[in-house]
């Protein structure tokens, strides 16, 4: 099996490369943006035609949610046109594509966990660009896996956990949004899910389609932050506790509208691939590695 990975320096890409390094039965090529600009169709075609992967994993994305409101063209180029280029190239060499998407494709107004068949209605430019990318991949390559996830964090890159730990060094009191709910998802678990899916679809082509993968239990950002500080204090990464105060979304205005409900149902991925939800509390137990 040959796997091509884009966005190798992102949170998921970084973890996936570490996993692939330990796999002796496969060959992989992992590239960063400077090595492969997915918005450049001719460059994508050249690399894919030369490497001839069995699977392309697109971990490259424009993820600056608020900035996307001011840079819609760039967000669309990376999140829509890039995946289209990769999907077309994959189709040309009869490869499958695994494309990472997001909870932002939903409006977040529902009260239950979103299933893969739930109606999409993104409320931000970021969400619209990611949904457009999903549609492009589905239309361009029949052998596709769309993997929607949410609230990604890990040891590498920028994320909520690292932000909280950084703020705790200079602040003793913080206000954190308490009316947005979701499942924090460890990037390493996303990478593991991708590798497991890759190995299965190589031999069984019946499970292509859209899947959700995120963490459990579902919590608010407020509850998530409290757990971060609790574990950091237990492991003596903090010398004093941080007072976390619950605030509403209205108290913390942002350019892009965030989904109030980012809960994703992960029953389908468990049934089809035997992949259980990310245990974010277990991942936080290794909090020293996030510094």
Closest by CA position to 58, among listed 80, 25, 26, 76:
80
Tokens standing for residue 55: 């699977």
Q: Are 122 and 130 contacting, i.e. CB atoms less than 8 angstroms apart?
A: yes
Give residues with Cβ within 8 angstroms of 68, minimum separation 6. Answer: 62, 74, 75, 124, 125, 126, 129, 256
**Residue 28 annotated among the catalytic residues of the structure:** no
- Please, what is the Cα angle at 254 between 249 and 256, to 5 degrees? 105
Helix (H, G, I), strand (E, B) or coil at 156: coil
User: Of 28, 104, 114, 126, which residue is the catalytic one?
Assistant: 126
Structural Rg of the chain based on CA atoms: 19
Q: How many angstroms separate the first and last alpha carbons of the chain?
A: 35
Measured distance CA(43)–CA(37) in Å, rounded:
7
The sign of the CA dihedral 231, 232, 235, 238 is: negative
Active site residues: 126
């Amino acid at each position: 099996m040959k796997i091509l990975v884009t966005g190798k320096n992102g949170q998921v890409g970084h973890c996936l490369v570490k996993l692939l390094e330990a796999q002796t039965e496969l060959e992989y090529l992992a590239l960063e943006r400077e090595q492969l600009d997915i918005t450049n169709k001719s460059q994508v075609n050249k690399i894919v035609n030369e490497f001839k992967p069995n699977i392309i994993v697109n971990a490259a994305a424009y993820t600056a949610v608020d900035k996307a409101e001011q840079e819609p063209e760039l967000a669309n180029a990376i999140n829509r046109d890039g995946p289209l280029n990769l999907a077309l190239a994959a189709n040309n060499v009869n490869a499958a594509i695994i494309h990472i998407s997001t909870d932002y494709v939903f409006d977040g107004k529902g009260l239950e966990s979103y299933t893969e068949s739930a109606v999409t209605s993104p409320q931000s430019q970021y969400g619209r660009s990611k949904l457009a990318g999903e549609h492009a991949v589905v239309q361009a390559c029949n052998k596709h896996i769309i993997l929607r996830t949410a609230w990604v964090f890990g040891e590498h890159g920028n994320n909520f956990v690292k932000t909280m730990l950084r703020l705790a060094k200079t602040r003793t009191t913080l206000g954190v949004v308490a009316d947005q709910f979701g499942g924090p998802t460890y990037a390493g678990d996303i990478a593991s899910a991708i590798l497991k899916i890759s190995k299965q679809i190589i031999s069984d082509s019946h499970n292509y389609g859209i899947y959700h993968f995120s963490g459990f239990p579902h919590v608010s950002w407020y509850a998530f932050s409290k757990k971060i500080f609790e574990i950091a204090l237990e492991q003596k990464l903090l010398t004093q506790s941080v007072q976390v105060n619950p605030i509403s979304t209205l108290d913390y205005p942002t350019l892009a509208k965030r989904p109030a409900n980012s809960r994703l149902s992960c029953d389908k991925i468990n049934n089809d691939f035997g992949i259980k939800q990310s245990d974010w509390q277990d991942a936080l137990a290794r909090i020293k590695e996030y510094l």
